Amino acid sequence: MPELPEVETVRLGLAPVMEDAIVTRLQLNRADLRFPFPEHFSKRVEGERIVSLGRRAKYLLVDLQCGEVIIMHLGMSGSFRTLSGDMPGDFHHARTRHETHDHVIFHLRCADGQTAKVIYNDPRRFGFMLMSQRNQLDEHPSFKDMGVEPVGNALDAQELATGLSGRQTNLKAALLDQKVIAGLGNIYVCEALWRADLSPRRMAKTLVLKSGKPSQRAERLTETIKQVIAEAIEAGGSSLRDHAQTDGSLGYFQHSFAVYDQEDKKCRKDDCSGTIQRIVQSGRSTFYCPRCQK
């Protein structure tokens, strides 16, 4: 499942093509993906101008001038690529280029008058596209009760402490709860906990003082969460700018992880002689250093 940095990287790649473009045709090559397409999907979208391309957690949001929003999720294998006229465009994130898996095609007239296509390809069809009115988006089932974003100034230590207060579960599971932090996934929870010297086994509520205020551990964890997400987005963004990955993969995938998938390797902290271990928590792999993460 793609994590927030990958989805943000995709957004950054598609925005120059999609924003301010008119959808001249929405081509649906099947009746559904993970879920059926919205009723009269093509008719509702065709002729509309795309005001902006946003993101909420791991969802892409296509804001239309009419006030509706297309909610898009990549699922397990979904990806996008662009065509400028009939030539490959500036963005591709294709895990496969088999046209039999090209399920949705946005035919666009871009702001500069040129034509383009944005193609959604999904071999396993776990992705989906839904619609909502913009003024009802916060109450949509996908976003209702969703926590703050781990980017910018939205997340602070007090917000984290409020989410962890009284939680009788391990810290790893609490951080994966989308009601606490939106879009934070398995990989970057592992990385943030390592940087903060915190064990994924630690009880979540131990990061909160009796007064409800954040502890120093919570302050440190808040900063490491924001750091790893920002660095991962930057890694993907660098790849978008120079197209270093000729196979279309994003720099995000080339990120050098300190603990994730590093089982049995020496901990990378200079003052630690520990070894990275893998455990299973709630059916998910967790990687951490039991020596320096307490």
- As a whole-number percent, the residues of the chain with pLDDT over 90 amount to 78
Instruction: State the Cα–Cα distance between residues 289 and 278, nearest whole angstrom.
Output: 9
The model's pLDDT over 164-194, given as tens digits with 9 standing for 90+, comes to 999 999 999 999 999 999 999 999 999 999 9
Q: What is the pLDDT of residue 236?
A: 76
Catalytic choice (55, 58, 217, 220)? 58
Query: Which of 236, 253, 274, 95 has the alpha carbon at shortest distance from 187?
Result: 253
State the pLDDT confidence band at 244, using cuts at 50, 70 and 90. very low
State the pLDDT confidence band at 247, using cuts at 50, 70 and 90. very low
Burial 253-289 (b: 16+ CB within 10 A, else e): eebebbbbebeeeebebeeeeeebbeeebeeeebbbb
Say which CATH architecture domain 4-139 belongs to: Alpha-Beta Barrel (3.20)
The per-residue DSSP string of 49-99 comes to BEEEEEEETTEEEEEETTSEEEEEE-TTT-EEEEEETTEEEEEE--S---G
pLDDT at 279 over 70: yes
Catalytic choice (3, 8, 68, 191)? 3
Active site residue 88: no
> Is the CA virtual torsion 274, 272, 228, 246 positive or negative?
negative
Instruction: State the Cα–Cα distance between residues 243 and 153, nearest whole angstrom.
Output: 30
Active site residue 234: no
Domain ranges of the chain: 4-139, 157-260
Q: What is the pLDDT of residue 93?
A: 63
- As a whole-number percent, the residues of the chain with pLDDT over 70 amount to 89
Instruction: State the Cα–Cα distance between residues 53 and 62, nearest whole angstrom.
Output: 5
pLDDT at 275 over 90: yes
pLDDT at 264 over 70: yes
The model's pLDDT over 203-236, given as tens digits with 9 standing for 90+, comes to 999 999 999 999 999 999 999 999 999 998 888 7
pLDDT at 278 over 90: yes
Active site residue 284: yes
Q: What is the pLDDT of residue 246?
A: 38
Q: What is the pLDDT of residue 234?
A: 84
Q: What is the pLDDT of residue 22?
A: 98
DSSP secondary structure code for residue 265 in this structure:
S
Active site residue 214: no
Q: What is the pLDDT of residue 99?
A: 83
Q: What is the pLDDT of residue 228?
A: 93
Catalytic choice (34, 202, 278, 284)? 284
Say which CATH architecture domain 157-260 belongs to: Orthogonal Bundle (1.10)
The model's pLDDT over 65-94, given as tens digits with 9 standing for 90+, comes to 999 999 999 998 898 989 887 666 666 665
State the pLDDT confidence band at 245, using cuts at 50, 70 and 90. very low
State the pLDDT confidence band at 243, using cuts at 50, 70 and 90. very low
Average pLDDT of the chain?
A: 91
Query: Which of 92, 75, 93 has the alpha carbon at shortest distance from 84?
Result: 92
Q: What is the pLDDT of residue 106?
A: 98
- State the average pLDDT over residues 15-24: 96
pLDDT at 126 over 70: yes
